[in-house]
Amino acid sequence: MSENIVKIFQIITYVILAILFLVNSAILGFHGLIIALTSIITENFDVQIFLFLLLTLILLVSFIYVFWAKLSNKFKIPLLLILLILQVIFFKFSFYIPTVDKVVGIQRCVDFGGVWNDATNECIKQR
């Protein structure tokens, strides 16, 4: 009886982690896509952007690998939880990377109808 309860708890935890991963991956993937496209279009692609995109890809691939790996749930669930926490921390701290923050500022400026001034690194509001 207690083995069934533990098995059900592991399956529920596994499903919740998978759903959280999918939501976080969609957010992080969309964020990475916007950063990549904006940095290429505005010619701000550099090593910081490359490393940001590489780490994003590594986090996504490692989570998928652990999700599909032939590991027991005893090891799989903690690994998935650690990767999920790393994914959230990485997304939170990605705004402290100078080039990534600049590209996010450029995108925000364009979204609100402004023009980005490269000389002053400021958004010029259009009226």
Work out the average pLDDT over 96-118.
Answer: 87
107 inside domain: no
105 inside domain: no
Work out the average pLDDT over 85-99.
Answer: 87
Expressed as residue numbers, the domain containing 62 is: 2-97
97 DSSP 8-state letter: S
Give the whole-number percent of the chain exceeding pLDDT 90.
Answer: 3
Helix (H) or strand (E) holding 122, with range, is strand 122-124
| In contact, 97 and 89? CB cutoff 8 Å | no
Residue 120 main-chain phi, psi, to 5 deg: -105, -5
> Which residue type is seen at 30?
F
117 inside domain: no
How many domains does one find in the chain? 1
Global pTM exceeds 0.85: no
Q: Report the pLDDT value the prediction gives residue 111, as an integer from 0 to 100.
A: 86
Give the whole-number percent of the chain exceeding pLDDT 70.
Answer: 97
Residue 127 has pLDDT above 80, yes or no: no
Q: Report the pLDDT value the prediction gives residue 113, as an integer from 0 to 100.
A: 85
Q: Report the pLDDT value the prediction gives residue 54, as an integer from 0 to 100.
A: 92
User: Rounded mean pLDDT of the chain?
Assistant: 85
Work out the average pLDDT over 23-43.
Answer: 87
Work out the average pLDDT over 95-113.
Answer: 87
10 inside domain: yes
124 inside domain: no
7 inside domain: yes
57 inside domain: yes
118 inside domain: no
